[in-house]
């Protein structure tokens, strides 16, 4: 069968045994994420027609005003995963604390925890610009049969067994890795089926796109400022092109296909940066490394960072290998 004709469902079954733990549980979990992605896609697509645009009127634990679609996407993912009893715990950007999942028939028997950014790029919802969902999956550390604890969620990103994102864009795509490369599936909305459209995705080694919120330039540290100036200099293949959508998922997706670097640095006003280590940076870093790219939080590799709390923030630089290495040269000059 040609790769173009293969559906995500078929791909999951075919690859079930290549996964190192191969119990089938991870495949069921990816299947549930596929289903939740279709449900959220349906909601996002009709957002302008029904009353789900705008603010929900609540503030989340991050101190952000929740949008109605943040809340809806959060509910849909949690419901879908909970109803199928395939995870033992969920942590979400939109929830204060992690959720332990259990039922009478299933006494904490599941092995996986999921961490999600249910709706990434909230500021783009009302203006019909691409948004996404990010997910990250770990095996629990505590023994099966006992309730999950915070320790199960605070694992370094290198322990991830799978991670991915959905981008609700001009077409809807689900892109994920189980540690054996990155594959992208495009939704055919007429029949509600994802097809393998982007097998074995890789960041080009070099790129010509830099993505950063330059409005914050004045607050950046000198190394980042100098790198941005380097991107803008006229020399060799520079100046580079600046592209910033404001949805990490969409910026990452474009850079992976075309070659580029994404930056959310710390600044004089946000010492930790903005992006969340567990829901945003770790899954994107796992995908980046699986696609020949790099992801650092300053001097350190993102996947090596030992998390201290659920909603921890961290500076994030990610993309084409040679671009990240060049940026790192600038950062180390000032440390």
Binding site for ligand AHG (CB under 6 A): 64, 93, 117, 120-123, 213, 246-248, 274
Gap between the Cα atoms of 25 and 45, Å rounded: 30
Gap between the Cα atoms of 171 and 153, Å rounded: 32
Q: How far is the CB of 139 from ligand AHG (least distance, A)?
A: 25
Q: How many residues bind Mn ion (CB under 5 A)?
A: 5
Residue nearest to Mn ion (CB): 120
Gap between the Cα atoms of 232 and 209, Å rounded: 11
Beta bridge partners of 316: 264
Does residue 263 contact residue 316 with C-beta atoms inside 8 Å? yes
Of the ranges 75-83, 98-106, 114-122, 155-163, which one interacts with Mn ion (CB under 5 A)? Answer: 114-122
Q: How far is the CB of 146 from ligand AHG (least distance, A)?
A: 31
Gap between the Cα atoms of 195 and 11, Å rounded: 9
Q: How far is the CB of 251 from ligand AHG (least distance, A)?
A: 6
Q: Which of 120, 152, 251, 289 binds Mn ion (CB under 5 A)?
A: 120
Nearer to ligand AHG, 123 or 241 (CB): 123
Does residue 317 contact residue 295 with C-beta atoms inside 8 Å? yes
Of the ranges 28-36, 88-96, 172-180, 311-319, which one interacts with Mn ion (CB under 5 A)? Answer: 88-96
- The set of residues, in sequence order, having a beta carbon less than 8 Å from that of 2 and lying 6+ positions away, is none
246 binds, among Mn ion, ligand AHG, none (CB under 5 to 8 A by kind): ligand AHG
Place of tokens 């991870």: 26
Any binding-site annotation on 244? yes
Q: How far is the CB of 222 from ligand AHG (least distance, A)?
A: 20
Sheet holding 294-296, edge to edge: 241-242, 209-211, 260-264, 316-319, 294-296
Q: How far is the CB of 311 from ligand AHG (least distance, A)?
A: 11
User: CA neighbours within 13 Å on the CB side: how many for 69?
Assistant: 30
Any binding-site annotation on 122? yes
C-beta neighbour count of 4 within 10 angstroms: 10
Q: Which of 38, 117, 138, 290 binds Mn ion (CB under 5 A)?
A: 117
Is residue 251 close enough to count as binding Mn ion by CB under 5 A? no
Binding mask 153-192 for Mn ion (x = CB under 5 A): ----------------------------------------
- The set of residues, in sequence order, having a beta carbon less than 8 Å from that of 147 and lying 6+ positions away, is 100, 102, 108
The residue ranges that bind Mn ion (CB under 5 A) are: 64, 93, 117, 119-120
Residues that constitute the known binding site for Mg(2+):
93, 117, 119-120, 280
């Amino acid at each position: 069968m040609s790769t173009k004709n293969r559906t995500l469902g078929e791909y999951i079954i075919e690859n079930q045994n290549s996964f190192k733990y191969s119990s089938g549980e991870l495949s069921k979990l990816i299947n549930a994420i596929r289903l939740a992605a279709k449900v959220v896609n349906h909601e996002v697509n009709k957002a302008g027609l029904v009353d789900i645009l705008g603010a929900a009127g609540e503030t989340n634990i991050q101190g952000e005003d929740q949008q109605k679609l943040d809340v809806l996407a959060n509910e849909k993912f949690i419901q879908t995963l909970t109803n199928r009893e395939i995870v033992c715990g969920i942590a979400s950007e939109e929830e204060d604390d992690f959720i332990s999942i259990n039922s009478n028939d299933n006494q904490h028997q599941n092995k996986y925890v999921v961490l999600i950014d249910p709706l990434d790029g909230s500021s783009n919802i009302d203006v019909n610009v691409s948004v996404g969902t990010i997910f990250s999956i770990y095996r629990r550390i505590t023994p099966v049969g006992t309730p999950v604890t915070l320790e199960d969620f605070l694992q370094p990103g290198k322990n991830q067994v799978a991670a991915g994102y959905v981008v609700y864009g001009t077409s809807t795509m689900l892109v994920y890795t189980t540690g054996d490369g990155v594959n992208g599936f495009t939704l055919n909305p007429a029949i509600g089926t994802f097809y393998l459209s982007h097998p074995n995705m890789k960041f080009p080694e070099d790129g010509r796109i830099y993505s950063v919120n330059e409005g914050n330039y004045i607050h950046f540290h000198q190394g980042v400022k100098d790198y941005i100036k380097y991107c803008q200099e006229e020399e060799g293949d520079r100046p580079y092109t600046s592209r910033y959508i404001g949805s990490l998922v969409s910026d990452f997706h474009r850079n992976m296909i075309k070659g580029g670097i994404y930056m959310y640095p710390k600044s004089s006003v946000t010492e930790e940066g903005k992006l969340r280590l567990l829901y945003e940076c770790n899954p994107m870093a796992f995908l980046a490394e699986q696609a020949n790219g790099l992801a650092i939080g300053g001097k350190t590799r993102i996947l090596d960072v030992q998390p201290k709390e659920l909603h921890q923030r961290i500076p994030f630089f990610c993309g084409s290998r040679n671009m990240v290495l060049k940026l790192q040269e600038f950062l180390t000059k000032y440390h």
